[in-house]
Structure 1
Amino acid sequence: MSKYTKLINNIVAFGNSDDRIAAIILVGSQARKEKSSDEYSDLDLIVITEDTNYFVQSNDWLDKISKYHILFLEKTADGADEKRVLFEGALDVDFVIISENDARAAFKSGKKPEILLNDYRVLLDKKEMLADIFSLQQTKESYCFPQEADYVNIVNDFWYHAIWTSKKLLRGELWEAKFCLDSYTIHGILEDL
């Protein structure tokens, strides 16, 4: 039994009780069949709702699931809102909040969204909008490796800014260091890969 079992049950019960939630899908390592999650794995969920603003802006709904200690918002790689929550017992859950319209459009395209190309488990589907999800085509965009010169440039860019960030830390310029690490090094360089 997973350490997340009780929390998953609470999330599904909450989803059943809230009319704004259409569906919840479990993705990531907790949904994998072959290479299962380990003790450090988090819980990755897609929440499909008619009211994305409420689930992004409010935290009241989290109180109905379980006690939590830390939460913050960020964007996924494809621009969706993600609420990351650390529940009691160091159980971390990533809630990707997607509108029903966006979900329907994605499914209507006939191609399975990339996040669903690996294992997933439908935890809740109150509007039966995921009934055809299994028949969608599994297409994955091919990946092109960078040219050697581009790769070397990216690696050197990373190391240069790692040293620059360290200097800012040693000077006590904490915000400058954080800006470089978050905004430039992590997002800028890694997006080039």
Structure 2
Amino acid sequence: MRTEHEMMKMIIDFAAKDDRIRLATLEGSRTNKNISPDAFQDYDLSYFVTDMDSFKENDHWLDQFGKRIMMQKPEDMELFPSELGNWFSYLILFEDGNKLDLTLILINEVNDYFADSDGLVEVLLDKDSRIEAEVIASDRQYWIKKPTAREFDDCCNEFWYVSTYSGSSYPRMWQSLFTCYALFRKYSKAVANGLGYEYPDYDQAISTYTESIHKQWA
């Protein structure tokens, strides 16, 4: 497996040599200094380009990143609709085990990109000095925070209501459902007690309902 240094050098060198690529960023877990490195972390990369179509004409240019075992192009699939708008992505598994999630973004969308970023982003290359303020990767958006009483209630409401779709004629499925109930009940009550929130009555109502369905159909 190629090292992180080898992969990053290849990624940056490729961008530096291609005039169509004006800006390159790294996103995701590899920018997060608060977690331990993992050899199997994806390389989440974005190239901001002046011309998208020339890249999409064929995939030969991707050969420079290494031999591929498999690749997905989500925005070029029929079964699953695109979620990235005008962006175009390549999800690549290489023969050496490295994974690259590469997204092409038109350069005029750079402001939208940073506005919607989760904070885990690092600028690798900025040929035109477009990024004026220093970009410091932060995982603040993923910090655990105290839920409001309404958020807690909404979470409980969602769990208990959706659980009513789990009925089955298979005994093991019922056992799994009731185990899930017990776990959710245990920890949601602990949260309610710890935060001084009221534990909602969805538990009793849905547990009674589910037991009746179980007796009737299981």
Q: Is TM more than 0.5 here?
A: yes
Shift of 1:91: 0.5
Counterpart CA distance in 2 for 1:16 and 1:77 is 28
Pairs within 5 Å for 1:1-193: 3-74=3-74, 78-79=84-85, 80-106=87-113, 112-115=115-118, 117-118=119-120, 120-132=121-133, 134=135, 146-155=154-163, 157=165, 159=166
Shift of 1:123: 1.4
Instruction: Give the TM-score of the pair, scaled to structure 1.
Output: 0.63
Shift of 1:27: 1.1
- Indicate conservation of the 8 Å contact 2:123/2:135, yes or no: no
SS in 2 for 1:46: strand
Larger radius of gyration: 2
Q: Deviations over 1:22-54 (max 9, x none)?
A: 111111111111113313211111111112233
Q: Deviations over 1:87-110 (max 9, x none)?
A: 230110101221111114555xxx
Q: 1:21 to 1:40 in 2, by over 3 A?
A: same
SS in 2 for 1:38: coil
Count of residues in Structure 1 that have an aligned counterpart in Structure 2: 151
Unaligned 5+ segments in structure 1 are: 164-193
Shift of 1:74: 1.7
- Indicate conservation of the 8 Å contact 1:30/1:36, yes or no: no
Counterpart CA distance in 2 for 1:148 and 1:57 is 49
Q: Percent of aligned pairs with the same residue? A: 23
Unaligned 5+ segments in structure 2 are: 76-81, 171-218
Counterpart CA distance in 1 for 2:161 and 2:54 is 43
SS in 2 for 1:129: coil
Aligned to 2:197: none
| Structure 1 vs Structure 2 CA RMSD | 3.3
